[in-house]
Amino acid sequence: MLSALLATALAAPNLVVVSLDTTRVDALSSYRVEHGPFRYDPVTTPVLDRLGAEGARFEWFWANAPTTLNSHATMFTGLDPHQHAVVRNGFPYERDEPTLAERLGEVGYDRIAVLGAAALESQMGLDRGFRVYDDRMAVLMSIMYQDRAESVVHRTLQALDARPDPGQPLFLFVHLYDAHTPYVPPQRMIDRHCDPTYGGPVTGQGKRFRSYVQQLRKDAADPVDVERVGCLYLAEVAYVDEQVGVLLEGLTERGLLDEAVLVVTADHGESLAESRPYAYSHGSNAAEEVMHVPLIVKGYGVPLAEQAVVTRHAAMPGLAPTLERALGLPRTLGSHPDFYDLLRPGPTWDVDGWPERPTHVALFEASRPRQRTSETEWNNLPLHRGIFAGGWGLWHAPFTKSGMHWYDGTVGVDAPMQPVLRGLLDAWDAAAPPHREEDLAPATHKALKALGYLDD
């Protein structure tokens, strides 16, 4: 058995997963530029654009929940939120099912994670299987201890240089949090990507930002200010793109991309000015701008699809088992369909025949309550939820004046398909786990206490 594991390890490619927190799909300039948020500069993510052009770029990739811990639990277990039972930040992953890091540790991989925010701190359970889990956060920004992308990349390269066996196959996870509020990109990114003639008072943080959001929700915001804040968000994403480039240079210099699978995705997106009740936030709704996220996969010396744009949709629970197969391993994680067939080299099998032929179904729900939450059942059942399958989308908004309200997604729903989609979503909800009590993460408790929200 040991000799088999060693042989697998020696032949195994590296795996690098980069998670772009709070990055909606059209924040990347290669995705739907004509429909995206305000862009003074139409090309804001050249590094990621190039990766998508060289590898496989998924047009329709869906998260299951719009909060960090919940979505990353799915990313690394292959379990959807009703299976892993992580409600949102502050509810640790406690199930027995293994994580991707544990799985790769079994076959001889070194496992390193470097994080950009305390939402994923080790006490939340996703450190399982990692040899190094660097969750050091130096700066309190808003209500979260964070670290800027430049520092996260520096810490990552330091961890790589300290590896006891540089020849061991590597699983590297890098989490970049900067696109999350507050929107405070470096000045050089503002100068490069935003309108230099703006002279208004609005920034991406502080009292002026909060006042602006209140005006926006009353439909009284100046359009020039709306454009400015959208641009600050995009400048944050541009800064992250720049630092992904620095990371890739460091990996290349160390020979870690000679044979590797690189994955870039996001845990969730962000509502901007298009959704006034939820402007510049995520978690409380399940609209397309917070559930539709980028996915780019590129093989270095590994036979994977090249220069491919995948239009058939896929969902986050399929990612971990897909990566198992991309690394040449039998799939073991989760029970959802993987989408390795869309990544195989050669012509991409990219035809969606749902519902006649089974395909990937994306089920999702909001995870942060605004008006109410369940005190007896699964916490998120009263919140916004939705489903996307086979080119049809349906969203459920429970807080409209008329009560339970179903409305079509942007891709439209034929009338005969509505009961089918509702039935699938109802079945998912019927299998939801029981109610959970919040277990506040230590760093989150510290942050809330520092801001005066907690007495002890």
Burial track 422-438 (b if 16+ CB lie within 10 A, e otherwise): eebbeebbeebbeebee
Query: What residue ranges of the chain are covered by domains with CATH 3.40.720.10?
Result: 2-342
Q: How confident is the model at residue 448 (pLDDT cuts 50, 70, 90)?
A: very low
Q: In the CATH hierarchy, which fold is given to the domain comprising 2-342?
A: Alkaline Phosphatase, subunit A (3.40.720)
Weakest mean pLDDT among 32-41, 297-306, 312-321: 32-41
Confidence at residue 453, expressed as pLDDT on a 0 to 100 scale: 35
Question: If you search the block for the tokens 């919940």, which residue do you land on?
Answer: 70
Confidence at residue 6, expressed as pLDDT on a 0 to 100 scale: 43
Contacts of range 321-326, beta carbons closer than 8 Å, 24 or more positions apart: 321/78, 323/15, 323/17, 323/100, 323/261, 323/263, 324/100, 324/103, 326/261, 326/297, 326/299, 326/302
| pTM of structure | 0.89
DSSP 22-58: T--GGGSTTS-GGGSS--SSS---HHHHHHHHHSEEE
Please check whether residue 297 is in contact with residue 262, taking contact to mean a CB–CB distance below 8 angstroms.
yes
What is the Cα–Cα distance from 446 to 366, expressed in whole angstroms?
A: 25
Does residue 411 carry a pLDDT above 80?
no
* Mean confidence (pLDDT) of the chain: 83
Does residue 456 carry a pLDDT above 50?
no
What is the Cα–Cα distance from 116 to 128, expressed in whole angstroms?
A: 18
Continuous segment of H or E residues that includes residue 293: strand 292-300
Q: How confident is the model at residue 449 (pLDDT cuts 50, 70, 90)?
A: very low
Spatial CA neighbour of 100 closest among 288, 299, 331, 269: 331
- Residues in CB range of 170: below 8 A, 6 or more apart: 14, 15, 16, 109, 110, 111, 112, 160, 163, 256
Burial track 112-135 (b if 16+ CB lie within 10 A, e otherwise): bbbbbbbbbbbbbbbbbbbbbbbb
Confidence at residue 338, expressed as pLDDT on a 0 to 100 scale: 92
Q: How confident is the model at residue 382 (pLDDT cuts 50, 70, 90)?
A: confident
Does residue 286 carry a pLDDT above 60?
yes
For the ranges 90-99, 349-358, 377-386, 409-418, the one whose mean pLDDT is highest: 90-99
Alpha helices in 162-275 (DSSP H): 187-193, 206-217, 223-253
Confidence at residue 115, expressed as pLDDT on a 0 to 100 scale: 96
DSSP 339-398: -GGGTSSSS------TTTS---EEEEE--S-SS---SSS-TTTTS-EEEEETTEEEEEEE
Structure tokens at 410: 């942007």
